[in-house]
C-alpha cells in the first residue's frame, strides 16, 4: 500500500486529487494537511467527499509517507519543504509552479522532472520528484509539440488561452465574483 500525503488540502486541485486517490486500490491517504482548516472535517470543505467520513484536515504533515502531493499556491511549496524536509526516499509531486523551471537550489537538490507525460514519460517513470505543468503550459505544449517534432514551426506563434473561473482557485478577489465574470473575458497576467 502506497502511503500518500496531500498538502494544501482545501483547494480545487486537492479536492480532485482526493477524489481520484480515495478509490485507488493501492493507495492509503495518510493525511490531508491544511493550515487554515486544521481539525475540521475534510467534507466540510469538499462536501461531496462524504466517503471520507469524519476524517479531518491535519495540523501537521506526517513525514512518514511514500509520496507527498503539494497542492499549495504558487510560491508556497518551497517554503513548506524548508519547514518539512521530507526524506530523499519520499517522492514529491508539486502541483504549483515552484519547481517547473530550473534555478532554485531546492529544485536542483531534489531533481524535479517536468511532468508533461507526453514529452517526458520515461523520465517521469524513473524520477523521484515531479513538477507538474500548469494548465496553459500543458495546452500549449500539447498543441505545438507535434509541430515542433516535425520541424514545421517557422514563424512567430501567438497563443490565446481562456480559462474558467476555477483556474483562479478558491480565494476571493474582485474578478472571481460571478457578477464580474459572467459573459466577460479579461487578460490574465499579461507579460
Looking at residue 67, which CATH number applies to its domain?
3.40.50.720
74 pLDDT more than 80? yes
pLDDT band at 170 (very low <50, low <70, confident <90, very high): low
The pLDDT tens digits of the residues spanning 113-169 come to: 889 999 989 999 999 899 999 888 899 999 999 999 999 999 899 888 877 766 656
* Element housing 110 (H / E): helix 105-110
Q: Evaluate if residue 173 carries a pLDDT over 80.
A: no
The pTM of this model reads 0.83
Instruction: Give catalytic residue positions.
Output: 135
Structural domain includes residue 170: no
How far is residue 84's CA from residue 106's CA, in Å, rounded to a whole number? 13
Asked whether the predicted pLDDT for residue 57 surpasses 70, the reply is yes
10: cell is 482545501
In what helix (H) or strand (E) does residue 83 lie, and over which residues does it extend? helix 76-83
Please report whether residue 15 resides in a domain. Answer: yes
Considering the domain boundaries, does residue 7 fall inside one?
Answer: yes
Tell whether the model's pLDDT for residue 53 goes beyond 90: no
Domain count, the chain: 1
What percent of the chain lies above the pLDDT cut of 90? 53
Amino acid at each position: 500500500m502506497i502511503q500518500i500525503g496531500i498538502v494544501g488540502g482545501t483547494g480545487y486541485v486537492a479536492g480532485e486529487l482526493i477524489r481520484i486517490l480515495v478509490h485507488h486500490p493501492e493507495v492509503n491517504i495518510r493525511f490531508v494537511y491544511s493550515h487554515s482548516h486544521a481539525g475540521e472535517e475534510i467534507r466540510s470543505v469538499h462536501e461531496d467527499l462524504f466517503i471520507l467520513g469524519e476524517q479531518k484536515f491535519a495540523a501537521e504533515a506526517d513525514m512518514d509517507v511514500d509520496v507527498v502531493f503539494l497542492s499549495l499556491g504558487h510560491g508556497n511549496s518551497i517554503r513548506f519543504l524548508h519547514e518539512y524536509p521530507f526524506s530523499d526516499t519520499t517522492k514529491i509531486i508539486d502541483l504549483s509552479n515552484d519547481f517547473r523551471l530550473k534555478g532554485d537550489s531546492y529544485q536542483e537538490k531534489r531533481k524535479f522532472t517536468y511532468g508533461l507525460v507526453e514529452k517526458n514519460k520515461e523520465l517521469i517513470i524513473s524520477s523521484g520528484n515531479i513538477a507538474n505543468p500548469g494548465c496553459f503550459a500543458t495546452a500549449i505544449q500539447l498543441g505545438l509539440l507535434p509541430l515542433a517534432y516535425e520541424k514545421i514551426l517557422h514563424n512567430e506563434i501567438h497563443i490565446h488561452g481562456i480559462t474558467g473561473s476555477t483556474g483562479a482557485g478558491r480565494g476571493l478577489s474582485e474578478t472571481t465574483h460571478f457578477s464580474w465574470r459572467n459573459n466577460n473575458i479579461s487578460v490574465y497576467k499579461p507579460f
